[in-house]
Structure 1
C-alpha cells in the first residue's frame, strides 16, 4: 500500500485526481467536480482550466468537461519521443537561426499531433513553446504533412470523425500537400498564427514525425515560403539520417 507523501501538494493531488476521474468516468460538470473533490466551484473551475490548458481535459459544447487528448488513446511510445527530441533539437536550433521563427517537432498520436520539442524564435513577437500540447492533425501543418504521407486506410482511420464535406475538402488539400511536399496552417488552429510543416522520413524506429516553422501571421509572407520549405526539408532529411544511424 502506498502512503500519502509527508509534504503532499494539495492542488497537485486534486488536479491528478480530477484527471483520473475524467479518464475513468467521462464528462463532468463543474459542480460535479466540486462535489467529488470536496472543493468550491471556483476552485473546481480553476483546476479544470489548468487541465484544459495542458490538454488533459476539454470543454464540450454543453459546458461539461471531458478527457482531453493526453488522456485519450493514441499515446506515442516514450522511447520514440526521447530519441526524436534528442536528435531533432539541434536541427530546430539551426532552423531558428536560419529563418528567425519558432521551430517544432511533432508526432502523430491518434487523430492529433503532439508537440514533443520547441525552440522559440528570439524575436519579441513570436510563437511560444508548444511542448506537450496537442492539436488536431487535420488542422496543424505538421499533422497535414503526415496525413498526406499515409496510405488511404491509415488516413481514413485518423479522419473517421470528420463529416463527409470536411473529409472531402481535406482530401483535396492533402493531394496538394503531396504534390508540393509541405503543408500550410494559415490561422486554422489559432488566430494570428501561420505555420508550415514537412514530414520526417521514417527512420530508426521513429515514424509519423514532422517538423514545422510557426510565425505570427503579420510576419508571414508567401515570398518567404520557398526559403522556409527548403530549410525544413533539409532539416527533416538530416533528422531522418541521424535517427537511422542511431
Structure 2
C-alpha cells in the first residue's frame, strides 16, 4: 500500500485501492500544482493507463482540469472554498452577453474573474470558436500575479496594499512586480505570456463602476503558440467591449467575495 499524505488510523476493513488512488492523486495535485500521467504513475507505482483512468475521474468530478499541454492542474473542487455559493451572480449575468460578443469576435476564450486578496477566482467562461482553444477555467483559483486578470486588478493597488498582499516577496521581486503593474496600468490592460501555464497566455482589462471601484476583470486567453500573432487584436477588441460593459456596471458596487 502506497501512502501519500497523512493517514488516520489503520486502513479500513473494506479498503478500496481505486478510491485511495484517486484521493492520493487529489493530494498530489493540491501539493504539486501540476501532474502528468507519467509522473502520477511513477508516484503511485501503477501503469500509465491506470493513472490516466484515475485522473480522468478527477476531471469528471472537478478535482482536476487538463491543460492544453496535457498536464493536470487542480480543479475547482479543490480550489473554490473561499467563495460563497452564488456570489457574483449579478456580475456574471451582466457580463455574459459582452463576453459572448468578445469571444465571437476574437474566436478566443474569455473569462470573468474577481480578486480575493492575492488570488484570482474565475467566475465564468465563454468558449472560443477555434478548434484548438483554451478550455473553461470556471471555478479555478490562480495566483493573481500569474494571470492577466489578476495583474490588471492588482495594478489598482497602492504600494503598501501590495506589500501587505506579498509580505514575503524579496524586495527585488516586489519591485519587478510593481514595474509590471505600472506598465499594465499605463496600457489599460495586462498581459500574461505563459506565466502560470506555459501553453496558455492572455490579456485582461478591469471592470469598474462610475466611482472607479474595481469590480473584476475580463480576459481573453489563447494558446501561447498563437498568442503573439493575435494579442494586439484581442487587446483592441477586449478594450472596446469592456468599455461598453463598464457603462452597464456604473451603478454596481463592489462585492465582498471572501
Indicate whether the TM-score tops 0.5.
yes
Counterparts of 1:165-244 in structure 2, within 5 Å, are: 165-202=172-209, 207-221=214-228, 224-244=230-250
Which secondary structure does the structure 1 equivalent of 2:155 belong to? helix
TM-fit CA distance, 1:193: 1.2
Pair 157,79 (structure 1): closer, same or farther in 2 beyond 3 Å:
farther
Partners of 1:140 and 1:79 lie apart in 2 by 24
TM-score under structure 2 normalisation? 0.69
Partners of 2:10 and 2:242 lie apart in 1 by 47
TM-fit CA distance, 1:210: 0.5
Deviates more, 1:202-211 or 1:146-155: 202-211
Partners of 1:161 and 1:35 lie apart in 2 by 36
Q: Could you tell me which runs of 5 or more consecutive residues in structure 2 were left unpaired when the two chains were aligned.
A: 34-42, 44-77, 253-258
Which secondary structure does the structure 1 equivalent of 2:123 belong to? strand
Counterparts of 1:11-160 in structure 2, within 5 Å, are: 30=4, 32-33=6-7, 35=9, 38=12, 39=15, 43-50=19-26, 57-59=30-32, 69-71=79-81, 75-76=82-83, 80-160=87-167
Partners of 1:89 and 1:37 lie apart in 2 by 48
Q: Contact conserved, 1:76 with 1:108, CA < 8 A, in 2?
A: no
Pair 46,164 (structure 1): closer, same or farther in 2 beyond 3 Å:
farther
Pair 41,79 (structure 1): closer, same or farther in 2 beyond 3 Å:
closer
Partners of 2:159 and 2:119 lie apart in 1 by 17
Partners of 1:166 and 1:41 lie apart in 2 by 44
Q: Contact conserved, 1:108 with 1:146, CA < 8 A, in 2?
A: yes
Q: Contact conserved, 1:201 with 1:237, CA < 8 A, in 2?
A: no
How many residues are paired up? Answer: 206
Q: Contact conserved, 1:206 with 1:243, CA < 8 A, in 2?
A: no
Aligned Cα root-mean-square deviation (Å): 3.1
TM-fit CA distance, 1:126: 0.5
Which secondary structure does the structure 2 equivalent of 1:199 belong to? strand
Q: Contact conserved, 2:153 with 2:214, CA < 8 A, in 1?
A: no
